[in-house]
Amino acid sequence: MATSDVTAQVTELRHRRREIRRELARVRWWRRLVAARKDLAIAQLTDAQDLEQLGVDDAWEALAADAPTSNELSDAVWPHGEVATPSSVEALVSLDARLKSYEDRVGDNLEMVTAQMVRALGQQRRMNPLPPGGDRG
């Protein structure tokens, strides 16, 4: 592989890694908002119903692997004056599970791209070794 090809590969991997890190931060932000909304919904219900009836533990099982849409997330976090119900808490738990699944996939992708970038940087270094006492600037 030519030096220019390796340099282009490293540049592309850096760009992909930056984009994946940005997406991972976005997903983690949404997960915090969903968790906060769920906490608010549970707090709203504590006066009216026994929390054991919510079945929150059962809802933590792995559900759909598809990532939620921005509209789903927005509607969950800002429910337009809806009153909390056990089903709304369960929906938030489900939404968080989907976000967690997506977060895991994005994290795995970030690790894969990082490993590819490290290999490409090693290859680039082998093809263009530094002169003794030199640096790349």
pLDDT tens column, 10-28: 999 999 999 999 999 999 9
Distance CA 75, CA 70 (A): 8
Q: What is the DSSP letter of 2?
A: -
21 domain residue, yes or no: yes
60 domain residue, yes or no: no
What range does the domain containing 36 cover?
Answer: 3-52+68-127
132 domain residue, yes or no: no
For residue 136, what pLDDT is reported? Answer: 55
Half-sphere exposure of 43 (CA within 13 A, CB side): 6
For residue 63, what pLDDT is reported? Answer: 34
Q: Give the residue ranges of the chain where pLDDT is below 70.
A: 45-66, 70, 133-137
* Token pair of 124 as six digits: 């680039």
Please count the structural domains in the chain: 1
Q: How many other C-beta atoms lie within 10 A of the C-beta of residue 76?
A: 22
62 domain residue, yes or no: no
For residue 51, what pLDDT is reported? Answer: 41
Q: How many other C-beta atoms lie within 10 A of the C-beta of residue 104?
A: 12
102 domain residue, yes or no: yes
**Quick one: how far is CA 98 from the chain centroid?**
10
Mark residue 85 as left, alpha or beta (left: phi above 0; alpha: psi -120 to 50; beta: remaining). Answer: beta
104 domain residue, yes or no: yes
* Token pair of 105 as six digits: 């996939």
13 domain residue, yes or no: yes
* Token pair of 34 as six digits: 């969903």
